[in-house]
C-alpha cells in the first residue's frame, strides 16, 4: 500500500533526487563544492578518509531534494596532514621512491585484458603479458636492492675500510660510531651491512602494507557487498564484473616473494665475493679474454675449491630461480584451486632465504669463511645492475606486442598467434647476446651487440605488423611498453642518484683544505672510491636524454608561442555579455581542411587573454607525445647501457682525440644528474610544504586509482574504497524506507571524480534495491574530465570507448597548432557522428538510458581554456552530440574578471541547465 502511494506521489511531484558532488585531483574542500562558507557545512556520514557533507541551511531547489559533497582526497594522500611542513617533506620524499613501482603497476592496466567471469583475485585472468609485468616488477625491486647494496656493502663496508700504514683506515665522512668495525674482517662487515638493503625493502613492504590496511577492513566490508554472488557472466566491462573492487590482484604471496628474492640476491653477492676475494688470477675481475669458456671453467673450478661460499651461492641462485617461477605462476590465478599451495611455497622461500642469510652471517663471524681484512672492490655489484637493466629492458620491449588483435576484437579465430611466440624467442636471444657481450672482448663485443640490436628491430617489425587498429589508443596500443620503460628509467635515475650521491659524500674529506678568509681550498683525493659502471654510464645517458628533451621542448614551445591561433569552441546554450559567438571570441565554428587553425592578429583586452589562455592550456595536451619521445630516447640509452662496448669505444675514442674529455663528460653528467635530482626534490618539497598532500600531484591520483596488480609495493588503491563507499551511499539513499517518493541520484563529478563515478555506475550495473534496478535511477554530470582523452586511450580494456559508449579519439600532435586538429577535422568532415552505445550490458551510455534514439542521462561540460578537461563525446557540438556542452570561459564567482580554467564550473549557467536536463531525464521537475 505504501509503495503504491509513493509511486503515485512520484508521478505527481517527481522523485526525490540526491545530487552527490565528487571532487577531482585538486581535492576541493566540501564547503567550496557546496558553494558556501566552511562554518555552514556539516559532515553527514563517513570518517576522515571518506565523508559526505551537507549545508546546514540546504533547501530543496531545481528539483533536487538534497545536495551532498563527497570528500575522498585523504585516501589518495600520504596521511601526513598532521605533520609539520618539514615532516611532510620527508614523508613525500619517501613515497617518491615508489614512483617506479607505481609505473609498473600502471603498465599492468594498460594491456589488453579480456572479459572476466569473476573479477575477484581468486579467479582473475591477467591475460597476455601479466606474468611478464610481474617479473619485470621483481627486477625493479632487485634494482633498488642492488643500488642500496652498492652503497651499504661496496662503498661503505668494503671500500671505506681499507688497510693503511697504521691499521685500517676509515672514510672520514662516516660517523665516528662506525670506527669500532675496524677490527672486523671483510666478510663480517659485508654481511652486517648487507642487512641495510634488506631492511630497506622490508620498509617498502611495511609502507605499502600499512597504506592498504589503514582502511583495509572497510574495503573488505564494502567489497563483499559488491561481490554480486551468482552473476558470473562474461562479455561485460571489467569495472562491471562482480568482485573487481573486493581485493587487490596481488597480495601477500607476491610480496613475500619480492622480499625473499631481495634476501637471496644479497646472499648470492656476499657468497660470490667471498669465493673470489683471495683469487690471485683476478677471476671475474679483469677484462674477459678471447676464450671466455676457458675463463669460465677456471673460475668455476676455483669456486668449487671454496665449499662454503660455493654452496651458499649455488643455493641462493637456485632459490632465486624458484622465486621467479613462483612469481610467474602467481600471475595466473584463473580457476586456480592451489592458491594456498602457492602462498605456502612463497612463505617457504622467504623462510629459506632468511635462514640462509642468518647462517651466512654467523659463519662470516667465524673462521669458516675467508678472513681477509682488505681486498679488491666488491665482486658482483659491478655487473649485477647491468644484468638487471638488460633483463628489465628486454621484458619492457615485450610490451610492444601486447596489442589487442583485430581477430580478438571481432571474436574470430586469431591468425596472428605466431607473432608473440616469435617475438618471445627474439627477445630471449637478445638478452643472451647482451649478456654474452660482457664475457668477451674485442670485435666479438661489437658483433654480439649488433646482433642483439638487429633482433630488437626484427621484434619491433613483427609486433607492429599485427592486424589491429590502435589509432584510438595511447601510443598506438603500446602503453605497457611505454610505462615499463619509463618505470625502468625512473628506477635507474633514483638508483644512480643514490649511489653517485653517496660516493660523492664519502669521497669528500673531513677537512676539505686550508681556509683563507671565507674561501676553502679543495683537497685532492688521491684514491677515490670506485663506483659501479652502470650508474656512471646511466648518468651519461640521462645527460644525453635531458639535452634531447630540452631541445624538443624548446622547439615545440618556440613553434607554438610565436603566434596566436583560432580553435573550435563548444557552443553555449546560454551566453552572458562576455560569451558571444565563437568567431568574435577568436574561435572558428566549422574548420576548413587546410585553413584550420588560422592565425589571429590585432587582438586586444579580454579577447586576447582568452586566446592566450587557450594556447597555454593546449601546451599541456602535448605531453603524451613528449612522453613518447622520452621513451624512445630511454630505450636507445638502455640498449647502449646493456652492452659495455658502446661506452668503452666512445671513451677510448674521446680520450684518444681529446685527452681528459671522457672524465669531463663524466663530471658534467654527474652534475646534470644532481641538477635533475635537486629539481625533483624541490618540486616534491614544494608540494609537501603547501596545502597539497599528494606527493606527485595529479599523477599520484591516477596511479593510485587502479588496484595493485603489477607491483606489490605500488601505492595503495583508493579506488578499492571510494567506489564501494559511493555505491553504498547511493543504495542507502535509494533504499531509504522512510522516503515519501521514489528516489534518484545525480553524480556531479569534477575531473578525476568523473572516473570514480563512472566506475561506481558500472559496478552497480546489475544491482537492485528493494527489488528495483538501481541504474535507471542514476544520472551523471561530469566537467573538466579526462575520461575519453586519457583514460579511454591509455586503459582501453578498463575505460575504452566501447565501455564508455562514445566514439574513439585520435591522439594529440606535438606540432599541429591545435593538438587535437586531426580529431576535429575528422569529426567535422564526417556526415554525422556515431551513435552512443546502446547496450546496457556493455556500455556506460547504455546503462544511463541510451538506446540509439534516447539521449543518455549524462552531460559533460568542457571549455578550451581547461588544461585538463576535454569533451567526452566529440569536439563537434550540435544535435548529434548527445552529451557535451560548452561552459563559459569566465569565472562565474570571481570578484574580478578572470579566465576560468580547470575549476570554476560550479555556478555557471551551463552547469545549472545541464543539471536541469538530467532532472527531467529522471522524471523530475526543475523550477
Q: List, in order, residues 6 or more apart from 779 with CB less than 8 Å away.
A: 744, 745, 746, 747, 848, 857, 858, 918, 921, 922
Assess whether pLDDT exceeds 80 at residue 696: no
Per-residue pLDDT band for 699 (boundaries 50, 70, 90) equals confident
pLDDT reported for residue 823: 94
pLDDT digits (tens, 9 = 90+) for 109-119: 999 888 887 77
Assess whether pLDDT exceeds 60 at residue 2: no
pLDDT reported for residue 289: 56
- Contact of 508 with 139, CB cutoff 8 Å: no
DSSP assignments along 549-600, one per residue: HHHHHHHHHHHHHSSEE-EE----SS--TT---TTTTTEESS--TTT-SPEE
Task: Please give the average per-residue pLDDT across 695-722, as a whole number.
Answer: 80
Per-residue pLDDT band for 700 (boundaries 50, 70, 90) equals confident
pLDDT reported for residue 124: 81
Task: Please give the average per-residue pLDDT across 255-261, as a whole number.
Answer: 93
Assess whether pLDDT exceeds 80 at residue 466: no
pLDDT reported for residue 855: 87
Per-residue pLDDT band for 791 (boundaries 50, 70, 90) equals very high
Lowest-pLDDT choice from 389-403, 485-499, 503-517, 897-911: 503-517
Q: List, in order, residues 6 or more apart from 217 with CB less than 8 Å away.
A: none
Task: Please give the average per-residue pLDDT across 903-927, as a whole number.
Answer: 90
pLDDT digits (tens, 9 = 90+) for 518-571: 555 555 555 678 888 889 889 888 888 999 999 999 999 999 998 899 999 998
Q: List, in order, residues 6 or more apart from 659 with CB less than 8 Å away.
A: none
Q: List, in order, residues 6 or more apart from 867 with CB less than 8 Å away.
A: 616, 617, 618, 620, 621, 901, 902
Per-residue pLDDT band for 892 (boundaries 50, 70, 90) equals confident
pLDDT reported for residue 17: 95
**Alpha-carbon distances of 592 from 345, 825, 828, 863, rounded to whole Å:** 65, 8, 9, 21
pTM of the model: 0.91
Per-residue pLDDT band for 62 (boundaries 50, 70, 90) equals confident
Quote the cell numbers at residue 628. 613518447
**Alpha-carbon distances of 608 from 369, 565, 613, 895, 902, rounded to whole Å:** 77, 11, 9, 20, 19
Dist CA 101 CA 91 (whole Å): 17
The 10 Å CB-count burial string (b at 16+, else e) for 458-480 is: ebbebbeebebebebbbbbbbbb
Average pLDDT, the chain: 83
Assess whether pLDDT exceeds 50 at residue 485: yes
Lowest-pLDDT choice from 52-56, 293-297, 399-403, 703-707: 293-297
Dist CA 654 CA 168 (whole Å): 38
Dist CA 677 CA 543 (whole Å): 12
Starting at the edge strand found earlier in the chain, the sheet holding 743-750 runs 41-46, 51-55, 66-71, 16-22, 743-750, 778-783, 858-862, 884-886
Assess whether pLDDT exceeds 70 at residue 183: yes
Look at residue 520 and give its three-state secondary structure: strand
Dist CA 630 CA 635 (whole Å): 9
Percent residues over pLDDT 70 in the chain = 80
Per-residue pLDDT band for 370 (boundaries 50, 70, 90) equals low
Residue bearing cell 564494502: 222
pLDDT reported for residue 83: 46
Assess whether pLDDT exceeds 70 at residue 654: no
- Contact of 468 with 423, CB cutoff 8 Å: no
Residue bearing cell 622480499: 259
Q: Which residues pair with 858 in a beta bridge?
A: 780
Calculated CA dihedral for residues 843, 848, 854, 859, nearest 10 degrees: -100
- Contact of 215 with 75, CB cutoff 8 Å: yes
pLDDT reported for residue 37: 93
CB atoms within 10 A of CB 855: 18
CB atoms within 10 A of CB 648: 15
Backbone angles phi, psi at 551, to 5 degrees: -60, -45
Assess whether pLDDT exceeds 50 at residue 229: no
CB atoms within 10 A of CB 397: 24
pLDDT reported for residue 611: 92
Assess whether pLDDT exceeds 80 at residue 318: yes
Task: Please give the average per-residue pLDDT across 592-598, as a whole number.
Answer: 78
Quote the cell numbers at residue 127. 591475460
Percent residues over pLDDT 90 in the chain = 40
Dist CA 153 CA 131 (whole Å): 32
pLDDT digits (tens, 9 = 90+) for 269-293: 999 888 887 766 567 666 655 566 6
pLDDT reported for residue 406: 43
pLDDT reported for residue 285: 65
- The dihedral through the CA atoms of 318, 321, 327, 333 has a sign that is negative
Amino acid at each position: 500500500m505504501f509503495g503504491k502511494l509513493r509511486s503515485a506521489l512520484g508521478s505527481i511531484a517527481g522523485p526525490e533526487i540526491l545530487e552527490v558532488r565528487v571532487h577531482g585531483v585538486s581535492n576541493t574542500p566540501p564547503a567550496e563544492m557546496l558553494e558556501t562558507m566552511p562554518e555552514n557545512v556539516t559532515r553527514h556520514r563517513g570518517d576522515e578518509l571518506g565523508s559526505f557533507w551537507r549545508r546546514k541551511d540546504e533547501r530543496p531547489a531545481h528539483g533536487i531534494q538534497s545536495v551532498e559533497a563527497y570528500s575522498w582526497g585523504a585516501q589518495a594522500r600520504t596521511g601526513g596532514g598532521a605533520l609539520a611542513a618539514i615532516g611532510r617533506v620527508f614523508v613525500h620524499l619517501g613515497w617518491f621512491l615508489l614512483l617506479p613501482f607505481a609505473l609498473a603497476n600502471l603498465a599492468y592496466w594498460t594491456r589488453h585484458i579480456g572479459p572476466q567471469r569473476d573479477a575477484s583475485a581468486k579467479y582473475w585472468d591477467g591475460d597476455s603479458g601479466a606474468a611478464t609485468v610481474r617479473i619485470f616488477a621483481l627486477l625493479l625491486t632487485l634494482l633498488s636492492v642492488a643500488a642500496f647494496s652498492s652503497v651499504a656493502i661496496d662503498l661503505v663496508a668494503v671500500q671505506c675500510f681499507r688497510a693503511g700504514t697504521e691499521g685500517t683506515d676509515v672514510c672520514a665522512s662516516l660517523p665516528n660510531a662506525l670506527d669500532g668495525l675496524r677490527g672486523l674482517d671483510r666478510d663480517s662487515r659485508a654481511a652486517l651491512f648487507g642487512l641495510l638493503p634488506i631492511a630497506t625493502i622490508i620498509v617498502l613492504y611495511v609502507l605499502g602494507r600499512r597504506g592498504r590496511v589503514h582502511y583495509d577492513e572497510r574495503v573488505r566490508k564494502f567489497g563483499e557487498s559488491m561481490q554480486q554472488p551468482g552473476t558470473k557472466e562474461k562479455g561485460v566491462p571489467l569495472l562491471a564484473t562482480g568482485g573487481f573492487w573486493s581485493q587487490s590482484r596481488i597480495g601477500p604471496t607476491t610480496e613475500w616473494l619480492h622480499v625473499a628474492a631481495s634476501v637471496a640476491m644479497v646472499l648470492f653477492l656476499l657468497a660470490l665475493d667471498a669465493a673470489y676475494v683471495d683469487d690471485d688470477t683476478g677471476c671475474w675481475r679483469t677484462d674477459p679474454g678471447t676464450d671466455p669458456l676457458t675463463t669460465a671453467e677456471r673460475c668455476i673450478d676455483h669456486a668449487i675449491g671454496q665449499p662454503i661460499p660455493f654452496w651458499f651461492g649455488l643455493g641462493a641462485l637456485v632459490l632465486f630461480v624458484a622465486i621467479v617461477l613462483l612469481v610467474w605462476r602467481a600471475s595466473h590465478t584463473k580457476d586456480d584451486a592451489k592458491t594456498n599451495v602457492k602462498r605456502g611455497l612463497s612463505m617457504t622461500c622467504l623462510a629459506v632465504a632468511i635462514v640462509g642469510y642468518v647462517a651466512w652471517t654467523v659463519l662470516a663471524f667465524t673462521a669458516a669463511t675467508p678472513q681477509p681484512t682488505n681486498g679488491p672492490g666488491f665482486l658482483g655489484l659491478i655487473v649485477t645492475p647491468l644484468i638487471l637493466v638488460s633483463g628489465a629492458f628486454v621484458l619492457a620491449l615485450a610490451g610492444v606486442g601486447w596489442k589487442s588483435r583485430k581477430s580478438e576484437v571481432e571474436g574470430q579465430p586469431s591468425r596472428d598467434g605466431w607473432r608473440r611466440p616469435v617475438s618471445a624467442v627474439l627477445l630471449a636471444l637478445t638478452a643472451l647476446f647482451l649478456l654474452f657481450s660482457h664475457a668477451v672482448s674485442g670485435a666479438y663485443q661489437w658483433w654480439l651487440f649488433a646482433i642483439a640490436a638487429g633482433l630488437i628491430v626484427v621484434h619491433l617489425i613483427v609486433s607492429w605488423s599485427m592486424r589491429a587498429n590502435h589509432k584510438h589508443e595511447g601510443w598506438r596500443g603500446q602503453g605497457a611498453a611505454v610505462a615499463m620503460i619509463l618505470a625502468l628509467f625512473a628506477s635507474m635515475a633514483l638508483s644512480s642518484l643514490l649511489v653517485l650521491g653517496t660516493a660523492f659524500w664519502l669521497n669528500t674529506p673531513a677537512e676539505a683544505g686550508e681556509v683563507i678568509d671565507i674561501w676553502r681550498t679543495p683537497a685532492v683525493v688521491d684514491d677515490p672510491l670506485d663506483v659501479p659502471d652502470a650508474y656512471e654510464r646511466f648518468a651519461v645517458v640521462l645527460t644525453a636524454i635531458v639535452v634531447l628533451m630540452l631541445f624538443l621542448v624548446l622547439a615545440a614551445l618556440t613553434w607554438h608561442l610565436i603566434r596566436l591561433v583560432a580553435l573550435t569552441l563548444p557552443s553555449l546554450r546560454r551566453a552572458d555579455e562576455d560569451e558571444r559567438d565563437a568567431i568574435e571570441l577568436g574561435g572558428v565554428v566549422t574548420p576548413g581542411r587546410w585553413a584550420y587553425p588560422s592565425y589571429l592578429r590585432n587582438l586586444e583586452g579580454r579577447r586576447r587573454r582568452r586566446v592566450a589562455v587557450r594556447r597555454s592550456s593546449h601546451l599541456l595536451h602535448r605531453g603524451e607525445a613528449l612522453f613518447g619521445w622520452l621513451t624512445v630516447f630511454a630505450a636507445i640509452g638502455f640498449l647502449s647501457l646493456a652492452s659495455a662496448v658502446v661506452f668503452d669505444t666512445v671513451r677510448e675514442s674521446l680520450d684518444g682525440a681529446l685527452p681528459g674529455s671522457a672524465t669531463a663528460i663524466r663530471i658534467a653528467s654527474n652534475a646534470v644528474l644532481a641538477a635533475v635530482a635537486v629539481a625533483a626534490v624541490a618540486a616534491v618539497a614544494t608540494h609537501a610544504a603547501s596545502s597539497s598532500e599528494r606527493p606527485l600531484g595529479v599523477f599520484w591520483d591516477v596511479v593510485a586509482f587502479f588496484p595493485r596488480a603489477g607491483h606489490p609495493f605500488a601505492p595503495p588503491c583508493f579506488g578499492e574504497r571510494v567506489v564501494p563507499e559511493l555505491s553504498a551511499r547511493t543504495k542507502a539513499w535509494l533504499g531509504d524506507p522512510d522516503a515519501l517518493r521514489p528516489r534518484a541520484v545525480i553524480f556531479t563529478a569534477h575531473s578525476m571524480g568523473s572516473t570514480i563515478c563512472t566506475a561506481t555506475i558500472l559496478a552497480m550495473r546489475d544491482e537492485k534495491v528493494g527489488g528495483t534496478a538501481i541504474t535507471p535511477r542514476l544520472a551523471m554530470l561530469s566537467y573538466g574530465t579526462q575520461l575519453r582523452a586519457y583514460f579511454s586511450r591509455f586503459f582501453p580494456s578498463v575505460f575504452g570507448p566501447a565501455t564508455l559508449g562514445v566514439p574513439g579519439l585520435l591522439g594529440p600532435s606535438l606540432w599541429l597548432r591545435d593538438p587535437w586538429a586531426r580529431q576535429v577535422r575528422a569529426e567535422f568532415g564526417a556526415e554525422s557522428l556515431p551513435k552512443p552505445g546502446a547496450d546496457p550490458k556493455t556500455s556506460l551510455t547504455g546503462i544511463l538510458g541510451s538506446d540509439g534514439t534516447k539521449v543518455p542521462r549524462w552531460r559533460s561540460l568542457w571549455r578550451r581554456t581547461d588544461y585538463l578537461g576535454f569533451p567526452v563525446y566529440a569536439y563537434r557540438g550540435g544535435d548529434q552530440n548527445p552529451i557535451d556542452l560548452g561552459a563559459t570561459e569566465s569565472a562565474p564567482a570571481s570578484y574580478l574578471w578572470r579566465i576560468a580554467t580547470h575549476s570554476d564550473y560550479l555556478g555557471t549557467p551551463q552547469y545549472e541547465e545541464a543539471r536541469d536536463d538530467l532532472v527531467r531525464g529522471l522524471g523530475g521537475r526543475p523550477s
